[in-house]
Amino acid sequence: PQHKTTKDGTVKVKWPHGFIYNGQLLRLARDLGNRLLPAFHTETGIPYPRVNLRYGIPFYPESPLHRNAEEGTCHTIQQRSGELTDTCSAGAGSLLLEFTTLSRLTGDPWYEQRAKKAFWAIWDRRGSTGLVGAGIDAESGRWVSSYTGIGAGIDSFYEYAAKAHVLLSGAPSGVSTGQHPHNVTDQSEGLFSQHDDPQSYLDVWTDSHRAINHHLRRGKMYIHPHYIQADVFTGAARAFWSDSLSAFFPGLLAFVGDVEEATESHLLQTALWNRYSALPERWSISSGNVEAGLGWWGGRPEFIESNYYLYQATKDPWYLHVGEMVLRDIKRRCWTRCGWAGIQDVRSGERSNRMESFFLSETAKYLYLLFDPDHPLNKLDAPYVFNTEGHPLILPRHGRRGQRRRASKSMTPSKAGVPSSSSKAPIQRVLGSSTWGYIPRCKPCSTTLHANTRYDRVALD
């Protein structure tokens, strides 16, 4: 592609066949970001689990967005709709990388501020164990279950704590204090988080990892190192199973430089894949069998992702052999004429009649990168990260400090976003346009909800 700068400073990228890119995708991303922002209007800062992309959140009457008539409240929504307000730590706390990138690309700090506030709202409610729970009520901020672990409902919260440090370490603060650039008055207090130092996210990961190892990890004295489920308040053991989502954790450990623990933790999932030619959704550590009939594999990428990170960290060819085993099993069991099916039961080989989007965005991508050592992403010496859906993110150059990261002395650049095994850092041995918006309306009366919010700048309908 060819880059061309017009007289007004706009950069246009010319592709083959006459197509010219001048920010179309970024404008769509901003449009989507604006449509998601109403979900963040809670007293806690934790976003609601549902948002209507056209009308916002009229089904959450307790939101500050609908506080009273003077602020645009529609009286027809004051009755509870029955919509669930429960969300999970992973869902509410894993918007940080994407929204920060959107803010840096558009110059609008609103997205980054909201995502950071949600992240810290989750972390500030952690239990006395130092762990976060799986489910939390967005309105009350109370945990809806005392279960905690490293898998479903929690996983990417810890992932984003570590990756936020890397992504933000090469960039100046993107959060402004004081008046919002669009002269908007926010209805919730504490929007501008005091936790804007990249080191604070590394501290969250360090404290979390310490708590995980103390309460959840079962080490070498057991048959195989693994992690259990525990009580978020007391740390007492609650369940003994491993889910396929928790297979991401060895990769995260390798990402931050804890290669020894990552290698040990990865062995159990490798043994399970070798046994079932896939990874069951949940496997009982105590009985050694599929847990509660949860034997499907929908093409999840977490095991392959960890295998990729471990190979990048160690260059041990054994991980190439593991990748080859996975690739052969997927080709043998999942290929169909119109796509790649999931496996309904890893024991019988029965296929499910669907193909998940993450199979291409993550599973196939990590396998591809594993076997292509010369790919630019495997050689990029920059503070980039993969988000939880496998998309590489890096902040724009005009938003980064110089040529090298200077925000933290505890982390140093390395290739492919993986740790340098020789690093001796005491805690973690590190790795290396126009505004779019809409007017949320309430049905059936179609009155504007809270018209003085930032969402009413441009009506798309």
Task: Kindly list the catalytic residues.
Answer: 281
CA–CA separation, 4 and 215 (whole Å): 56
100-126 core/surface letters (b: 16 or more CB in 10 A; e: else) = bbbbbbbebbbbbbbbbbbbbbbbebb
Token pair 């030619």 is found at: 277
Longest dimension (CA), the chain: 69
- Token pair listed for 322: 């593991």
Task: Using DSSP bridges, classify how beta strands 229-231 and 237-239 pair: parallel, antiparallel or unpaired.
Answer: antiparallel
Q: How many Cβ atoms sit within 10 Å of the Cβ of residue 59? A: 18
**How crowded is residue 451: how many other Cβ atoms within 10 Å of its Cβ?**
12
Residue with tokens 């449509």: 35
* Helix H or strand E segment including 35: helix 24-36
Q: Give residue 272's Cα distance to chain centre.
A: 25
| Closest C-alpha to 309, from 224, 352, 249 | 249
In the chain, DSSP finds a helix count (H) and a strand count (E) of 12, 18
Q: How many CB atoms lie within 10 A of CB 390?
A: 17
Strand ranges (DSSP E) for 66-141?
Answer: 86-88, 135-137
Alpha-carbon dihedral sign for residues 212, 419, 303, 267: negative
With 0-12 / 13-18 / 19 or more C-beta atoms within 10 angstroms meaning exposed / middle / buried, residue 414 is buried
